[in-house]
Structure 1
Amino acid sequence: MACIASLANAHEFWIDPVEPVVPEGGEVVASLRVGQAYEGSSYAYVPPNFRRFDYVWQGETRPVEGVIGDRPAATVAVEGEGLMVLIHVTTDTFLTWDTFEMFESFVRHKDAEWTLAEHEARGISHEKVREVYSRYAKALVAVGSGEGADAEAGLLTELVALENPYTGGAEDGLRVRLLYQGAPRGDAQIEVFEKDAAGVVTVSTVRTDAAGEAVVPAVPGRSYMLDAVVLREPAADIAAAKNVSWESLWANLTFYFPE
């Protein structure tokens, strides 16, 4: 847990399937990763670190079962074929920014510059700015044909794929919807990490429209990680108990667009 906290400064958290396409009757195996530029360390299955770790299969939501210390963190055997959606929600983690300049760089990078003026308006010190954050990650995995669809999972913030990349739904880009508290989050930045077969990563951004939707350009044979961050004031009880000034909520979605 301490390692995760030390890597938190603008580092993404994602679910990384070992194989995004598995044969019918095969096992879905996935790692939990924290890092930058779509590269990061793998973390074990540790229940105190998450509020929710589930998979959606053929219309049913079930918990990912594991033993403390399992790495990769998820190994799920299923019968039949279809689209599996893995879901992971972390517990809260607290951090203190080393410098205000680092915090400023972070909020600018995550398209939340409004927090800087609000920081001043609220009279918050620039010294030892405290933040609480949590992660809301999903991954799409094809089992056999991969037929099926992503859907809202009821997360505080989440990215929902409106098309299935494994069944020909991404030739002209993959449509996604960004939600916050169940409602579309319009005019928001989504960071797009694209990794090719050689492991080379390129980063770009798209913006959602008024309906919270955006089209992510997709190239066959590449893996994608989408990331969007909400910055907000923390709940009063947490702010008081933990001396926290800001809260960040990280939505993440990973998928592969096959040849």
Structure 2
Amino acid sequence: MIFSRLLLGCAMLAASPVLGHEFWIDPQKYQVETGAPLVADLRNGQNFEGITLAWFDNRFTRFDMAQGDAVQPVEGRIGDTPALNTLAPGDGLLVILHETTPSSLTYKVWDKFLAFAKHKDFTKAAADHAAAGWPQEGFQESYTRHAKSLIAVGTGSGADRAYGMATEFVALTNPYEPGFDNQMRVRVQYNNAPRTDAQIEVFERAPDGTVNITLTRTDLAGEASIPVLPGHHYLFDAVVLRASPQAGTSEQAPVWETLWAALTFAVPGG
């Protein structure tokens, strides 16, 4: 039985690039009390819907829970689903951090890469690809995921900060604080520096389950203010595309590398 679960988990992980794009942390509850069960899934999919991924320590480089400067690793066993299943720590804003090991996919059709580049607003990707002399069929992309989730424990008071992820959202406002004005302010970072004029894809799930998707951009400080609604859940997504450091080392080496930042949270009320 356990072996079958492991095989199923591996199969889902292998299939995930085909099934979807976004990767996020999906808490069962965004507001919990100290000492109460704290449960969250790792998900991969599209349109804020996706498959559940199990806990495999060879699939991530970081899986932590943080409150301010206090950071502790998420404990688990191979095949655990949900991937996070523990007790909530002390009162305050809890930030879940997850970074994956690299995975890869192959573009067999040039138009699929062009569609991806257009969707994620990589306007120079096609020209850079041609200038590098890379093939238009059968080339690979390496990708990693860099996800955060904001959970209120008790009052949920406190603040997010940069945690040194390769790319990440930093929440500049706390949606669980009293007086939250329904403007979620975030900064997008890459290599510990703000990403200016970066596209953010906003996935908004209403209480009835419908999902609305919009786009916005960061300003010259790498920041954006995004209107949000009480009772709704949110996934923010921002992607970095860069030439792979392995490009040219062999015919099988990836030529592109993508780094996907994600942030999930909920707005109380509604």
TM-score range, shorter chain: over 0.9
**Deviations 1:168-196 (Å, cap 9, x if unpaired)?**
46424110000000000000100000001
Q: What stretches of structure 2 of length at least 5 have no aligned partner?
A: 1-9
Aligned to 2:185: 175
Q: Does 1:147 align with 2:180?
A: no
**Which residue of structure 2 lines up, in the alignment, with residue 32 of structure 1?**
42
Q: Aligned match of 1:223 in 230, 233, 255?
A: 233
Structure 1 residue 107 and structure 2 residue 122: aligned? no
Alpha-carbon shift at residue 240 of structure 1 (Å):
1.6
Mapped to 1, the partners of 2:105 and 2:89 lie a distance apart of 42
2:169 to 132, 139, 159: 159
Structure 2 counterpart of 1:41? 51
Distance of 1:17 and 1:48 partners within structure 2: 22
Residues 186 and 196 of structure 1: CA distance in aligned 2, closer, same or farther (over 3 Å): same
Tell me how far apart the structure 1 counterparts of residues 96 and 89 of structure 2 sit (CA, whole Å): 16
Are residues 1:3 and 2:23 paired?
Answer: no
Number of aligned residues: 258
Amino acid of the structure 1 residue aligned with 2:242? R
Answer whether contact 2:31 2:152 (CA < 8 A) is retained: yes
The list of structure 1 runs, each at least 4 consecutive aligned residues, that deviate by more than 2 angstroms after superposition, is 1-7
Give how far 1:94 is off.
1.1
Which blocks of at least 5 consecutive residues in structure 1 are unaligned? none
After superposition, the Cα gap between the structure-2 partners of 1:79 and 1:32, relative to the gap in structure 1 and judged at 3 Å, is: closer
Structure 2 equivalent of residue 55 of structure 1: 65
Q: Which of 222, 229, 240 lines up with 2:249 in the alignment?
A: 240
Render the CA deviation track for 1:65-95: whole Å, top value 9, x for unaligned: 0111110000131343111100000000011
Structure 1 counterpart of 2:7: none
CA distance in 2, matches of 1:248, 1:223: 25
Deviation at 1:4, TM superposition (A): 2.9
Give the TM-score normalised by structure 1: 0.95
Does the CA-based 8 Å contact 2:142-2:257 persist in structure 1? yes
For each residue in 1:105-155, what CA deviation from the matched residue of structure 2 results, as whole angstroms up to 9, or x when unmatched?
011101112111101111111111210000000000011111111110100
CA contact (8 A) 1:5 1:93 kept: no
Match of 1:196 in 2: 206
> Amino acid of the residue matched to residue 169 of structure 2?
L
TM-score when normalising by structure 2: 0.92
SS in 2 for 1:167: coil
**Cα-to-partner distance string for 1:187-224 (whole Å, 9 max, x where unaligned):** 01000000011110000011000100001110000000
Secondary structure of the 1:106 match is helix
Aligned-pair CA distance for 1:2: 4.9
Provide Cα deviations, 1:24-65, integer angstroms capped at 9, x if missing partner: 321211000000000001111110000000010353100000
Task: Give the letter aligned to residue 168 of structure 2.
Answer: E
Aligned CA distance change for structure 1 residues 115 and 36 (closer, same or farther; 3 Å):
same
Which residue is equivalent to 1:254? 264
1:87, 1:198 → 2: CA distance? 28
User: Where do residues 68-147 of structure 1 align in structure 2 (5 Å cutoff)?
Assistant: 68-147=78-157
In structure 1, the partner of 2:27 is 17
Structure-2 separation of matches of 1:239 and 1:31: 37
1:132 to 1:223, Cα distance in 2 relative to 1, 3 A: same
CA 1:100 to 1:169, structure 2 compared with 1: closer, same or farther past 3 Å?
Answer: farther
After superposition, the Cα gap between the structure-2 partners of 1:58 and 1:233, relative to the gap in structure 1 and judged at 3 Å, is: closer
Aligned alpha-carbon RMSD (Å)? 1.5
CA contact (8 A) 1:5 1:94 kept: no
